[in-house]
Structure 1
Amino acid sequence: MIAEGNGLFQKKSVLKSEDWWAVWLGLFVFVLSLGPVIGIDLLGWVVKFNVWIDTSKALAPVSKTFQSMSGINAALLTYLFLLVITTVGAVAMGAKPVKYLVGFSIIYWITFSCLLLGNNAFIAATPDKQASLKIPWSLSLGEMGFVFAMIIGLIIGNFFLGFAKFLEEAAKPEWFIKTGIVILGAAIGIKTVGALGLASTVIIRGLCAVVEAYLIYWPIVYFISRKYFKFTPEWAAPLASGISICGVAAAIATGGAIRARQMIPVVLSAVIIVFVAVELLFLPWLAQSWLFREPMVAGAWMGLAVKSDGGAVASGAITDSLIRAKALKELGINWQEGWILMAATTTKVFIDVFIGVWAFVLAVIWSVFRIDKTKTPNAGSKVSAGEIWERFPKFVIGFVLTFLILLVMGLNNPSIVKAATAGSDQANALRTFFFALCFFSIGLVTNVRKLWAAGMGRIVGVYAVCLFGFILWVGLFVSWIFYHGITPPIIGG
């Protein structure tokens, strides 16, 4: 234990730290994902979920190298791999081995079932895929597997308390999401390499999202949370990041940076994912109605407005399909597929890149100025570099490393981009599991009655007021300023 002024903080061993274990596990998966770059497929056996009507076609290995392997065998191998690597970390952090093994096994297969259900065609198919799947309609909600996992976790955590208590040893929402974020860095890095090959105007317009999200949204949400909803800084900062920047990842990164209690980003994550699902229900159709003449504006708007990576990409894909179909019907213009989605993805990439930067900035500010006086009463007292380091979320190091390594590799040798992208996609299949495990764990450890009494109603209020009051409309305005008049290439034109 280290004392600084009258504020105490715990210096954890690297073998006991969730942050460091997130770095190590994430980097281990990342190193394996580099296999295709040197001609070795090390993660191609990981299971992926197809959008399905026939359950026999729902599962498959992520790589064609393993196409002879059955989907269920891929699922079993994925289970064993995650069981082994997480057990090593969990036991090192103090978990009881047998209890963790059993608990994780139960959590994995419940989560697996939720992801499987969430990829049913009537739930997950985007409009452009309905014809090939021979279905008349779908909800187009590709994120619903996460929502199902959270709902099942909530049911167990609030109505089957003994079972929930047993599973708590293996329910580690922050560890799972932090590991997923480290893996995410590689995907963003290789996408950024691709973005560099786009017209310079698109890249510049993507960068505008960073200014818009961090310098406009964040302080306004923080101010509203503090002044009108009476949240403490410990709640208001992760809430501002989660609502204004990048959902769950930003809320958790901020919570770690300011040393918030673990329950805070967990509670916020539950609210964020529900609002993402709500946005997916209506934003793409609003974009189709209002912006079918301004397709790139619509794509950037999805990237700015939808506060999760998967949600933003899913909304961008839906918007791409809806707007191209309407433009062909109403304007007789056949735009190339993927450019609207690219605008959404590029905007989201530049926002994501600065999660680590913003977390570091907040860590320094909270340490130097002692902002949360309820936790560090001597505001303004001298703070050491050691305390700033202790506050800094270490998993961000892993995120930045995976991002920079693939970015530099891709820029120095463009010929590896295709292979690196394939490896990143394989790692992302595992990232999907880490995120889903997080959402189930969020539900499991969330006691709704206690949380509502602690202020969840106010969290929903802040989110609704900020999202519908100004975030959607400021995002639309900024997207219009930077993307107005830019259109995708025309097929045959």
Structure 2
Amino acid sequence: MGYAAIKKSTNPSGGWSDLWRQEDYWAMWLGLTIVLSAIIFWGLGNSFMNWIVLKIPEYSDYRTAITYIGSHKSALLALYMFFLVLFSVAMKALTGEVKRFFVGFTFLFFLSLLVSVWGSWDVMKRYNFETPLLALVIGLMISNFLKIPYWLSTALQTQLYVKIGIVLMGASLPVILILQAGSTAFAQATIIAVATFLTIYWTGTKIFSLDKRFAATLAAGGSICGVSAAIAVGGTVKAEKQHVSMAISLIILCSIIMIFILPLAIKALNILPGPAGAWIGTAEFADAPGMAAAAAINEQAIKTFTLMKVVGRDMFIGIWCFIMALTSITRWDKRHGTTNPNALDIWIRFPKFVLGFIIASIIITLFAASSDLMTSKVLNDHIISPIIELRNWAFIFTFLSIGLSSRLKELASVGWKPFAAFTAGVLVNIPLGYLLSVVIMGNYWITVK
């Protein structure tokens, strides 16, 4: 879903009957479809995946970009159709609004192409204004000066795009690296999540007298995995809908601010890419904005961010929902007939796209190990590189969707008390993340390539 549409999200608890109606599952299936397609096309001796991947070359004369686009018109059309078919299948199940999505995504795709062209301009490169940040800024400028039509809003599926991108990220990370980094990331995430959650919750309830359920929703969004955590925990503790919406607005507002602040701080402090990505993974509140901030550094920062945020923090959501459900039922909610939480809730709440991320890594790792004909260069050139480029397109869709669905005036109207409580968590989160990622575990994150 796009950020604007997230506020209309249904109860995320779901069950097996919701298998076809949850974007987490669709992100996993579509991401793995792309990974398997790359392998199958290579196995058949077909260069389709390499052909459709477009990467605008860096240029100083705009005619270079125009010439490149003109000579790749057929590939551009094929890429557009490839994404359109994949996403339309998911939209049919998730929203049923395929026709409007078709129109909206067509606009989004060609706006993404324009952003890619601008992002390849050597002036942008010189000032480190990377394509993801450019996409966000363009989206924000459009949405804050123009009214976004409904046909376009149906294509702003932020969460779906970023989750597919994260699944594809798994294809570029060997499974052994995920296993090795998992314990480090999880330990660091535990410290960050607990400290940030308790700070926001205590400040919200004790100092600003916020409702406990509202404070818990705010705390979950600031400490675990942003919007998804706010929705999941808000539903778990039965927070009021307007409180969940306010928490989402705060998360989005602070996440957008952090996209610009963190890369500037990293460059000012001369932090190396590995620790920088891990710090972003602890300091950012949501996957999509964090990925934008990491992309402003380099590919290594993207990898360590993903390990820290996805393997470390996002996996917390199921456990955290279980804990908060138990707390809500036993301490806050004394009504009769309340159903006690059970261990199945952890699986129901667990972000399934994380499984897709791990499966993608396993598939590529096993394929590389089992193929006698597969050299590392062939693997990289014909399978991993196309997947990475398709992942980059998914992230451009993500950042444009964030900008196009975020009106800063609306995001800033949540009230000073919730903002102050959330800010207290930020003031703990950022320095603690720096201490853990750069000072204490910096040498480890440097080695992650």
Instruction: State the partner residue of 1:76.
Output: 77
In structure 1, the partner of 2:287 is none
Is 1:32 matched with 2:37?
Answer: yes
Query: Cα distance, 1:358 vs. partner?
Result: 1.3
More relative contact order in 1 or in 2 (CA 8 Å, sep 6+)?
A: 2
Question: Does structure 2 retain, via aligned residues, the 8 Å contact 1:51–1:120?
Answer: yes
TM-fit CA distance, 1:21: 2.0
What's the CA shift for 1:36? 7.6
Which amino acid in structure 1 is aligned with residue 161 of structure 2?
F
**In the alignment, residue 20 of structure 1 is paired with which amino acid?**
Y
Q: 2:233 aligns with which of 245, 248, 258?
A: 258
Deviation at 1:274, TM superposition (A): 3.1
**2:165 and 2:392 in contact (8 A); partners too:** yes
Q: Are 1:356 and 1:400, in contact at CA under 8 Å, matched by a contact in 2?
A: no
TM-aligned CA deviation for residue 284 of structure 1? 1.0
Contact 1:33 1:427 in 2 (8 A): yes
Q: Which whole-Å deviations, capped at 9, do the CAs of 1:458-482 have from their partners, x for residues lacking one?
A: 6765665544x34443344333234
**Offset, 1:195:** 8.6
Distance 1:252 1:475 in 2: 20
Check whether the contact 1:36–1:420 (CA below 8 A) recurs between aligned residues: no
Matched, 1:480 2:442: no
Indicate the RMSD between aligned Cα atoms, in angstroms.
4.5
The amino acid that maps onto 2:29 is W
- Structure 1 residue 151 displacement after superposition: 0.8
Look up the equivalent residue of 2:166 and give its one-letter code: I
Compute the TM-score of the two structures, normalised by the length of structure 2: 0.73
Give unmatched runs, 5+ long, in structure 2: 1-10, 236-240, 285-289
User: What's the offset of the Cα at 1:105?
Assistant: 0.9
TM superposition shift of 1:193 = 4.8
Q: Is the 8 A contact 1:303 1:343 kept in 2?
A: yes
Matched, 1:383 2:341: yes
1:432 equivalenced with 2:437 (yes/no): no
Do 2:200 and 2:424's aligned partners in 1 also have CA atoms closer than 8 Å? no
- SS at the partner of 2:317? helix
1:474/1:391 CA distance change after superposition, 3 Å: closer
Do 1:203 and 1:346's aligned partners in 2 also have CA atoms closer than 8 Å?
no
2:362 maps to what in 1?
404
User: What's the offset of the Cα at 1:370?
Assistant: 3.7
Superposed, 1:67-466 pairs within 5 Å as 70-123=71-124, 125=125, 137-155=126-144, 159-160=146-147, 163-187=148-172, 189-190=173-174, 193=176, 209-210=188-189, 212-217=191-196, 219-221=198-200, 223-224=202-203, 227-228=206-207, 250-255=225-230, 257-258=232-233, 265=248, 268-287=251-270, 299-305=274-280, 307=284, 308-312=290-294, 314-315=296-297, 317=298, 345-346=303-304, 349-370=307-328, 381-384=339-342, 387-409=345-367, 417-422=376-381, 423-455=383-415, 461=420, 465-466=424-425
Per the alignment, in what secondary structure is the counterpart of residue 143 of structure 1? Answer: helix
1:436 aligned counterpart, secondary structure:
helix
SS of the aligned residue for 1:268 comes to helix
Amino acid at match of 1:122: V
Shift, 1:28, TM fit: 1.0
CA contact (8 A) 1:164 1:444 kept: no
Listed one character per residue, the Cα deviations across residues 363-385 of structure 1 (whole Å, up to 9, x for unaligned) are 33244444799999679742355
Q: Which amino acid aligns with 1:183?
A: L
Letter of the aligned partner of 1:300 in structure 2?
A: P
CA deviation vs aligned residue, 1:183-206 (integer Å, no higher than 9, x gap): 22323x33x65799xxx9x99977
Letter in 1 for 2:414: A
Report the count of equivalent residues. Answer: 416
Task: State, as a whole percentage, how many aligned pairs show the same letter.
Answer: 20
Q: CA deviation at 1:80?
A: 1.6
**1:21 and 2:26 equivalent?**
yes
Letter in 1 for 2:132: E
Which amino acid in the other structure matches residue 269 of structure 2? L
Secondary structure, in 3 states, of the residue corresponding to 2:351? coil
Q: Tell me the equivalent position of 2:61.
A: 54
Q: Is this contact kept in 1: 2:274–2:445, CA < 8 A?
A: no
Deviations 1:303-339 (A, max 9, x none): 3146323523533x4xxxxxxxxxxxxxxxxxxxxxx
Q: Tell me the secondary structure at the aligned position of residue 401 of structure 1.
A: helix
Q: Look up the equivalent residue of 2:144 and give its one-letter code.
A: I
CA distance, structure 2, for counterparts of residue 385 and residue 427 of structure 1: 36
Partner of 2:3: none
- Deviations along 1:13-44, whole A, 9 cap, x unmatched? 43333232222211211212335874654421
2:144/2:407 contact within 8 Å kept: no
Counterpart secondary structure, 1:429: helix
Distance 1:225 1:412 in 2: 54
Runs of at least 5 residues in structure 1 that lack an aligned partner in the other structure: 1-6, 62-67, 126-136, 289-294, 318-340, 489-493
- The verdict on how the C-alpha distance between 1:169 and 1:475 changes in structure 2, with shifts beyond 3 A counting, is closer
TM-score with structure 1 setting the length: 0.67
State how far apart, in whole Å, the 1-side matches of 2:153 and 2:446 are: 50
* Alpha-carbon distance in structure 2 between the residues aligned to 1:399 and 1:139: 28
Q: Secondary structure at the match of 2:55?
A: strand
Distance 1:57 1:174, change over 3 A: same
Q: Which of 95-104 and 208-217 deviates more?
A: 208-217
Q: Do the aligned residues in 1 keep the contact of 2:275 with 2:446 (CA within 8 Å)?
A: no
Paired letter, 1:81: F
Structure-2 separation of matches of 1:461 and 1:363: 24
- Give the letter for the 1:31 counterpart: L
